[in-house]
Amino acid sequence: MSHSLLPDLLKATRLTRGGRLREATATLQQSLRSQTPSKVKISGDRVDGDRMMVIDGMYEEVNEGSSPSMTARSPNPTPRAGEPNHALKSLSSHLPAAMRDISGRLGRTLGGLMKPSESSADLASASGRFITGSYSNGVGTRAFKLYVPTGYEGQACPLLVMLHGCTQSPDDFAAGTRMNLIAEEQTCLIVYPEQSQAANPSKCWNWFNAGDQRRDQGEPALIAGITRKIMREYAINPRQVYIAGLSAGGAAAAVMGSTYPDLYAAIGVHSGLACGAASDMASAFAAMKQGGAAPGLFSSNGIGSKKAGIVPTIVFHGDQDLTVHPGNADRVIAQSLAGPTVLARQLQRGQVPGGYAYSRSIHTDENGRTLLEQWVVHGLGHAWSGGSAAGSYTDPRGPDATREMVRFFLDHAHPL
């Protein structure tokens, strides 16, 4: 990193600590402009209430309400934004952990998470450690991949558990969602449990089996065990443990939120189904094609308890999903709304430049705190909204589900 950036970074640090976030942002942007070639433009201007960032001649909308949905693999690869900018590359690779944390907080405060170009994203995501591990208990054994960001130095960090869809692997899912890039920006640890082909020939999580919908049984016990293993071996903030997934992984994430509300502070369900939407293979296919019935709230041992309250949940689904009926997204939200808390609802609409329109439903409590978000992406099929063509089941034309999920998660901490 150029030494000429250091005075500006120190100044931005002081401004941030003093609560002067806009001035800190302006300082960082001016410093980057002075270091970058003339063809690179960085803009923090607001257009119609949304924050636009222009990098390498391409602009992206960073809408406070954008979020992911699940669809089939896009037939067209995501275009690259040009050669990596050396100043941005240096900044992401060499900034101390404290400055990365400041940059992340600035991005969340000023209208969403900051989004670098895809080329710089590849550089950042490659700089941490992607570790292979396994976990065993009385139920069985599952492998996993753990991403440890370069900014992790033993401090207590958030942990996000990511559950892949059918036929996918941790590496494929990480590439398609770009979640490791967010881990670099926000200093989070990401663990990707891997379903074994012996447990399911298509490597689907068995969310539809009655025995895999109960606390301390079946696959929930394995996924919770992997989560707790990482919490034991690394410094994890127990109030910031989250779980999300796509398709079968999204359905499994819903199961985990229902059966382990004491472990996960919030969940993300992308193109998935509600916990209890099916109880066997036949009912699973029916729920996927027609939308499952809205089951009651789950307790730690099964259906029926309302004592746990609402687990904050963010849901994404494409309205052209032909694999998992879009009505299942409504069922996930309905399951949470079956609890004792009464929520107010508001609807927002938006459009990704050159991509899909979307509707975002926000459910807030009496204090105005968002507990549930439902994103319907119009035109999206069965794929991860806003994902990279480097992975399967992604569609870059949708709002960026990865960033919106992380934004939602970091706004919620477990009350413990």
Confirm if 386 and 401 have CB atoms less than 8 A apart.
yes
Round to whole Å and give the CA distance between 396 and 355: 8
Cα–Cα separations (whole angstroms), residue 260 to 164, 199, 298, 367, 400 = 19, 22, 10, 25, 27
In this structure, the answer to whether residues 106 and 151 fall within a common structural domain is no
Closest to 76 (Cα-Cα) out of 387, 368, 359, 352: 387
Pick 219 or 3 by higher pLDDT. 219
Q: How far apart are CA 416 and CA 400, in angstroms?
A: 30
Span 229-252, pLDDT tens digits: 999 999 999 999 999 999 999 999
Yes or no: say if 312 and 372 are a contact pair by the CB < 8 Å rule. yes
More confident residue, 51 or 413: 413
pLDDT above 70 for 141: yes
Q: Is the pLDDT of residue 125 over 70?
A: no
**For residues 312 and 361, what is the distance between their CA atoms, to the nearest angstrom?**
14
Distances from the Cα of 298 to the Cα of 10, 213, 256, 304, 330, angstroms = 49, 10, 10, 5, 17
Average pLDDT over residues 347-374: 96
In a domain, residue 275? The reply is: yes
- The confidence score (pLDDT) of residue 36 equals 42
Asked whether residue 123 is domain-assigned, the answer is no
Mean pLDDT of the chain: 78
Q: What is the pLDDT of residues 258-278, one digit of tens each?
A: 999 999 999 999 999 999 999
pLDDT at residue 301 tops 50: no
Q: What is the pLDDT of residue 149?
A: 96
Is there a single domain that holds both residue 138 and residue 171? Answer: yes
Same structural domain, 187 and 91: no
What is the count of structural domains for the chain? 2
Secondary structure string (H, E, C) spanning 48-83: CCEEEEEECCEEEEECCCCCCCCCCCCCCCCCCCCC
Name the band, by pLDDT with cuts 50, 70 and 90, for residue 308.
low
| Same-domain check for residues 295 and 272 | yes
Among 8-12, 100-104, 141-145, the range of highest mean pLDDT: 141-145
Q: Which of 299-308, 317-326, 354-363 has the lowest mean pLDDT?
A: 299-308
0.75 exceeded by pTM: no
Task: Say if residue 198 is in the same domain as residue 143.
Answer: yes
Burial (CB count within 10 angstroms: exposed 0-12, middle 13-18, buried 19+), residue 372: buried
Over residues 23-68, the pLDDT tens digits come to: 666 666 666 555 444 333 333 333 333 332 222 222 233 333 333 3
Residue for token digits 């100043």? 87
Q: Which domain holds residue 90?
A: 3-64+83-116
Does 72 fall in a domain?
no
* Residue 415 is assigned to a structural domain of this protein: no
- Asked if residue 74 has pLDDT above 70, the reply is no
The CA distance from 414 to 127, in Å, is 30
Residues 225 and 357 in one domain: yes
**Residues 214, 141 within the same domain:** yes
Does residue 45 sit in the same domain as residue 149? no
pLDDT exceeds cutoff 50 at 412 = yes
Q: Looking at the DSSP assignment, which residues form a beta bridge with residue 163?
A: 245
Same domain, 319 and 218: yes
Reported as type and span, the H/E element at residue 123 is: helix 118-125
- Let me know if residue 416 belongs to a domain: no
Give the Cα separation of 284 and 251 in Å (integer): 11
Which string of b and e fits 314-331 if b means at least 16 CB within 10 Å?
A: bbbbbbbbebbbbebbbb
Q: Looking at the structure, do residues 100 and 184 belong to the same domain, yes or no?
A: no
Same domain assignment for residues 264 and 399: yes
Does 261 fall in a domain?
yes
- Does 145 map to a domain? yes
Which CATH number covers residue 181?
A: 3.40.50.1820
Note whether residue 71 is domain-resident.
no
CA dist 109 and 50 (Å) reads 13
229 and 256 both lie in a single domain: yes
Q: Which residues pair with 50 in a beta bridge?
A: 47
